[in-house]
C-alpha cells in the first residue's frame, strides 16, 4: 500500500471543491473510503477543516489531476518530494513516565539504590525518567515523602522493561573495578616474595646446613690418666667402707 498525502482529509476537501474527480479517485489518493469522501462532499464529515492544495504543496502534479478528470479509472500518483529531509536520530534522553505512574518513581528509585548500588545516576534517570536531584534526596533520605516510600521493582511498576534494566546493570558491572571478594589480584608482601621456597618435606629444600666443624681439641694425656686415677681411688675407698 502506497503512502498517502499529508493531511488527507484537508486534501480531500480541496479536491472535492476544486476538481471533478470521482469519490473513488479521491479516496484512493487520500487513503479514505469513498463513502467518507461522499460525506465530505455533503458536509457531514470533516466540517470546519480548511482544504489543503496538494499542487502547491508539491504532493500532486497538475497533469495528474487532468489525467484523472479525463479517465475515471485512472488512479492519481503521489508526487515525490524534491526536498529530502535528513533523518532525525532520536537521542536517548530520560524515559517519559505517564502521569498516572509518576508517584511510583520514588519507590522505584529506592529499589534501584538498594538492589543495584553500582548503577550511576544517569542510568537511573534513563530507566525511570527522574531527575538527579530526586535521586540525591532519596539517597540522603531527605525526600519530603521518605517515611512513606517502599522499594518496588521498576519493571513490576511498568516504569522500565526488564531488557533495559538488565542492560544498564551489565554496563555498570563492566565499569565497576574488581573487589577483594571477587578475586582481584593483589601484590604479595615482600617477606613472602623474598623468602626461600619451602620443601614439601618441610625445612630447607636444599637440606640442613650444618655449622662448620671446629678443629678437634688436642687431648692432654696426663689429664686423662689423672682423671682415671681419681676415679679408681674413689672406687677402692667405697669398697673399704663396705667391708
Angle at 185 between CA 179 and CA 186, to 5 degrees: 95
| Site of grid cell 608482601 | 189
11 vs 51: CA distance, rounded Å: 6
For range 192-198, the mean pLDDT: 59
Handedness of CA 55, 61, 65, 68 (dihedral sign): negative
Q: For the segment 58-82, what is each residue's pLDDT rounded down to a tens digit?
A: 888 999 999 999 999 999 998 876 6
Q: Which of 31-35, 38-42, 211-215 has the lowest mean pLDDT?
A: 211-215
- Whether 151 shows a pLDDT value over 60: the answer reads yes
Residue with the larger pLDDT of the pair 147 and 46: 147
Q: For the segment 109-130, what is each residue's pLDDT rounded down to a tens digit?
A: 999 999 999 999 999 999 888 8
Contact 192, 130 (CB under 8 A): no
173 vs 161: CA distance, rounded Å: 19
Per-residue CA distances from 134 to 51, 125, 137 (Å)? 48, 10, 5
pLDDT band at residue 107, thresholds of 50, 70 and 90?
Answer: very high
- Domains in the chain: boundaries: 8-70, 100-175
Contact 151, 115 (CB under 8 A): yes
Per-residue CA distances from 36 to 48, 65, 164 (Å)? 15, 20, 43
pLDDT band at residue 243, thresholds of 50, 70 and 90?
Answer: very low
pLDDT of residue 67: 92
23 vs 28: CA distance, rounded Å: 8
- The burial class, CB within 10 Å (0-12 / 13-18 / 19+), for 215 is exposed
For range 45-68, the mean pLDDT: 88
Amino acid at each position: 500500500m502506497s503512502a498517502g498525502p499529508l493531511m488527507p482529509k484537508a486534501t480531500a476537501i480541496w479536491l472535492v471543491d476544486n476538481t471533478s474527480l470521482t469519490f473513488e479517485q479521491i479516496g484512493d489518493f487520500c487513503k479514505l473510503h469513498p463513502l467518507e469522501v461522499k460525506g465530505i462532499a455533503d458536509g457531514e464529515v470533516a466540517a470546519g477543516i480548511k482544504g489543503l492544495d496538494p499542487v502547491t504543496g508539491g504532493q500532486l502534479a497538475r497533469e495528474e489531476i487532468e489525467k484523472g478528470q479525463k479517465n475515471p479509472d485512472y488512479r492519481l500518483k503521489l508526487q515525490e518530494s524534491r526536498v529530502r529531509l535528513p533523518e532525525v536520530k532520536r537521542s536517548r534522553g530520560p524515559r517519559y513516565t505517564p502521569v498516572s505512574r509518576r508517584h511510583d518513581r520514588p519507590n522505584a528509585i529506592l529499589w534501584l539504590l538498594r538492589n543495584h548500588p553500582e548503577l550511576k545516576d544517569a542510568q537511573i534517570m534513563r530507566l525511570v525518567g527522574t531527575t538527579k536531584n530526586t535521586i540525591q534526596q532519596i539517597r540522603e533520605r531527605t525526600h519530603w515523602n521518605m517515611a512513606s516510600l517502599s522499594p518496588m521493582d521498576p519493571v513490576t511498576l511498568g516504569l522500565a522493561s526488564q531488557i533495559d534494566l538488565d542492560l544498564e546493570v551489565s554496563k555498570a558491572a563492566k565499569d565497576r573495578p574488581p573487589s577483594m571478594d571477587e578475586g582481584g589480584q593483589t601484590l604479595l608482601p615482600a617477606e613472602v616474595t623474598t623468602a626461600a621456597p619451602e620443601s614439601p618435606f618441610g625445612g630447607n629444600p636444599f637440606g640442613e646446613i650444618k655449622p662448620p666443624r671446629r678443629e678437634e681439641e688436642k687431648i692432654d694425656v696426663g689429664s686423662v690418666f689423672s682423671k682415671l686415677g681419681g676415679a679408681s681411688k674413689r672406687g677402692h675407698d667405697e669398697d673399704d667402707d663396705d667391708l
